[in-house]
Amino acid sequence: MVAWVQKAITQWQEEGIELNQGASTADIEKAEDQIEFIFPNDFKELYLYANGFSDYEWRNNLFSIWSLERIISEYNDSFNGFVGFCDYSICVFSLGFDKNKSGIYRHYFELQREDIGFVSISFEKTIDLLSSDSKLLY
């Protein structure tokens, strides 16, 4: 397990967050097929060990990391290629990928597509921002 994944999982476990068992490579590929998006390698590294938070659990900073199943169920083509993987405060906004750009973006559900905002350059960096409760997330 790579160091940043171990650090994140350890922090979440110490916070008492119940994590889903890791996903298989086949599970990740199935999700990719369903939403027509190839997840970056750093995303896959984490999800092989923890398939999101169990039962909509969230951290003290009100962020919840989604399972592959929730990523698929929340995916909506009408958001023009936005693939969420995390939400803040019961869906005030989500963090996710833009199928047409690299990096991680913030999407407010009640606003139009033009209102997504850049958050970070990678999934790994975003997990680090979540772990440190960075103001860059908001």
CATH number for position 78 = 3.40.1580.10
Question: Which residues, 6 or more positions from 69, have their beta carbon under 8 angstroms from its beta carbon?
Answer: none
Question: In the structure encoding, which two tokens stand for residue 127, read together?
Answer: 């997990």
Dihedral sign, Cα of residue 81, residue 86, residue 88, residue 92: positive
| pLDDT tens readout for residues 51-93 | 999 998 999 999 999 999 999 999 976 667 899 999 999 888 9
Note down the domain range covering 109.
3-137
Amino acid (one-letter) located at 103: G
Average pLDDT, the chain: 92
More confident residue, 40 or 117: 40
How many separate domains does the chain show?
1
For the ranges 41-45, 66-70, 99-103, 110-114, the lowest mean pLDDT is seen at 110-114
Q: Is the pLDDT of residue 48 over 90?
A: yes
- Concatenated DSSP letters of 11-23: HHHHTT--EEEPP
Among 29, 20, 28, CA closest to 51: 20
